Chain A
Amino acid sequence: MDVLHSLSAFLGYLLSILTSPSTLLLLFGSTILGIVFGALPGLTATLGVALLTTLTYSLDTGPALVSLLGIYVGAVYGGSYGSIMINIPGTAAAAATALDGYPKALRGEAGVAIGLTTTASFLGTMVGMFFVVVFTPIISFLALQFTSFEFFLLAFFGILISGSISTPDLVQKGWIAGFFGLFLAVVGRDPLQFYPRFTLGFPQLEGGIEVVPVLIGAFGIPQIIQVLKDRFVTAKAQQVGRVIPSWNKIIHNIPHIVRSALIGVGIGAVPGIGEDIAAWVSYGTAKNTSKHPELFGTGCDEGIIASETANNACIGGAMIPLLSLGIPGSPPAAMLLGALLLHGIAPGPMLHVEQPTFVFQVSAILLMASAAMYISGILLAPQVVKLLRVPPALFMPIVAVLCLIGSYALGLKIFNLYLMVPIGILAYYMGELGYPIPPLVIGVILGTMADENLRRALMVSQGSFLPFVTRPVALLLLLVIVATIITSTSTFKTLKAQWQKRGAST
């Protein structure tokens, strides 16, 4: 597909959104809903996408995608409201924003801070979208050259890297979570020989465990338990005043924006790593490279811009591996993958062959969603901020009901609920014990891909493992996997520390 064709497809989708009042209504509605979801502490972008998946199930793919991406973009941005107004981040992605957003609000500049986050988030999403357009077709093209060897290694690498980065404690815990996800994925009849595996005699398990109820359970139930058990309270919100999009400050901070957006896209493209890590890394980098690092934490603009640009740019980054390889880049993208599968779209290298314009459709929606987010943010922020007064005890029970009906409605199986609740409770305990949830989810999603491709690869090679080292891409992936494992071991970390110590003393 040449550049002109791509551009015309992109513009065509843009026009189709702009000229359809119902789609525009859906776009603005879901984006505002996303902002509300993000703003309310305890509700996350993942949960928003999860709950909307059920409601958009009966819609056509286009409108469903508009609403899902709308809520995703809105929720990642909306998290900053809580950070700025009450010093409680609406989502984990906005935690870094609180460091400078809240002090700014205390100085009576809440409107300026929200104006900055709105503009930074808008620009971040736009940069992310640009990378989706440019890199997804390239990676898809490269991935078409992959065989089962590479796909198995890619799936395994996704689980490993997600486990390594998202773990709050020992790296082994992240990997175990990933392996547990893989285990959940193999439950059911095996796809090659139809042999029932780990079904424990339950006929309902023969078809395998459905991904969406697992995702809703793993992300929704722990959130509900945590918020209600740990008595999440709302604080008195600061006065917001007029939301001012300060373009002067934005232009002055263009280098920060570019760097933060690149960090956001890069981290987003790593499987299973979400917007929160992107925001923290970007904030840390901005502070380390600043001429006035002492101003960070006192309400400085660079801090706000760094975290908010990165977390929204991460959305585009997360879409790149999702669309090109079928590997979600972040937890909300994992949920989006579940939704796409429900709509009969299988993201991966073949997507670019079967539906060559799909990437441009996603990009056009991202562009429109970021515009909707910007307009809604500037106009509605003072109203949305009022919702911060609503105590979580009022809305969390409703979220619980939505999680339940959502899990049930997708397959019309009450058994999905029977599975979702224990998985949710288990995920809660895993979180308490330092086992991260994203690798588990990535494992559930990539398990089938890893299983099928491992066996297919060995069938092709008639049981030989040699192609893993003779095929260049497979070898490269294998080396990266080995490097990831080695660099995560405590022996390596001790040696590295000793080496650094020696370097410093000499």
Chain B
Amino acid sequence: MMDKSKLRGADFITSLFLIAFGVWILVQAFQMPMKDTYGGVVNVWYVSPALFPLFIGIGIILLALNILVHALKTGGYQVFREFLLTKKKVHITEKGYRFLAILVPLLSLVYMNLPRIDFFLSILMFLLFFIPVFYFDDFPLLKKLLVFYSIEMGVLFLLFLTGIDRTLTRSFRYTLDILTLGLIMALYLFIRSCIGGQEDYRRKLRHALLISILTPLFLVPVFRFFLRVPLPKEGGIVDLLFILYYAIR
């Protein structure tokens, strides 16, 4: 949790957001059938679908007002004002970079890669970045890797945005998988070049690579073959595992 001196400033602004949120709930609730007819049913106020949202909206507004008053009494506005006045330039701290190094792979995996790229490769690419970036515990290296990974994700984003991925996969089904594999190789080689000959880092990279491969190699059979869960996107590698699974069976 934030320290108390900053917290009251944050309380000031969050309570305003919460009041706005409560008002939005009320506005939405008032658009719901209250006493009029809906779907052939004549409404009375106490069966209205708006009743509970009204209760929630009012509750949030009252409580947020309470927090706002407390924040004002304890100097929250001054803290917030000082924050605005002293904050002339956006400066990302080490913690901020670490936070970005969590968000970038997580968001790109969920919103971009998992629905479009082979599950095995999506997870492999995610882990091959996510494990070393924190396992090395080296801030300059974290920044470099984050930039490189963001560029890779940018390339994929452009492909998906322009629809080139569809054109590519129309001519050959596994084109996107091959491209992803290329990006994974590029990421690995980039990490190798960054760490140079440092034995400790090379050992850590070996661990990271091993875990990055073993995790999807364990998860795909468990979920796809034993739990019979269709994976979000099954591409070249999952198909290959299918062939292997049925060959063994």
Contact = CB atoms under 8 A, between A and B. Distances in A.
Interface string A376-412: 0000000000000001011011101110110011001
Contacts of B43: 193
A433 B137 CA distance: 27
Chain A interface, >50% SS class: helix
A433 B9 CA distance: 10
A57 B228 CA distance: 11
A55 B227 contact: yes
B102 A58 contact: no
B18 interface: yes
Chain B interface, >50% SS class: helix
Interface string A42-59: 000000000000110110
Interface stretch (A23-31, A81-89, A182-190, A246-254): A182-190
B38 interface: yes
Contacts of B99: 225, 229
A376 B18 CA distance: 48
Interface residues of B, number: 68
A414 interface: yes
Interface string A474-500: 000000000000000010000000000
Contacts of A172: 63, 66-67, 70
Interface stretch (B126-134, B163-171, B178-186): B126-134
Contact of A405 (B52, B53, B59, B219): B219
A186 B110 contact: no
Contacts of A195: 32-33, 38-39, 49
A414 B211 contact: no
Contacts of B88: none
B5 interface: no
B33 A193 contact: yes
Interface in A422-470: 425, 431-434, 450-451, 454-455, 458-459, 462-463
Interface string B191-204: 00000000000000
A170 interface: yes
A169 B134 CA distance: 31
Interface string B13-42: 010001000000100100011000011010
Contact of B63 (A176, A182, A409, A414): A176
B38 A454 contact: no
B52 A432 contact: no
A197 B32 contact: yes
B79 to A, nearest CB: 13
Contact of A224 (B44, B102, B114, B216): B102
A15 B110 CA distance: 45
A417 B63 contact: no
Interface of B: 1-2, 7, 10-11, 14, 18, 25, 28, 32-33, 38-39, 41, 43-49, 51-53, 55-56, 59-60, 63-64, 66-67, 70, 95, 98-99, 101-103, 106-107, 109-111, 114-115, 123, 126-127, 130-131, 134-135, 137, 207-208, 211, 215-216, 219, 222-223, 226-230, 232
10 contacts: A54-B227, A179-B59, A186-B56, A397-B130, A400-B130, A401-B127, A409-B229, A412-B230, A421-B111, A459-B47
9 closest Cβ contacts across the A-B interface?
A458-B46, A393-B134, A190-B49, A397-B130, A451-B52, A393-B135, A195-B49, A463-B46, A172-B63
Given A58-B227, A182-B56, A455-B46, 18 more contacts: A55-B222, A55-B227, A169-B1, A176-B18, A176-B67, A183-B53, A194-B39, A197-B28, A197-B49, A224-B102, A228-B101, A400-B106, A404-B109, A414-B115, A421-B106, A425-B103, A433-B10, A433-B11
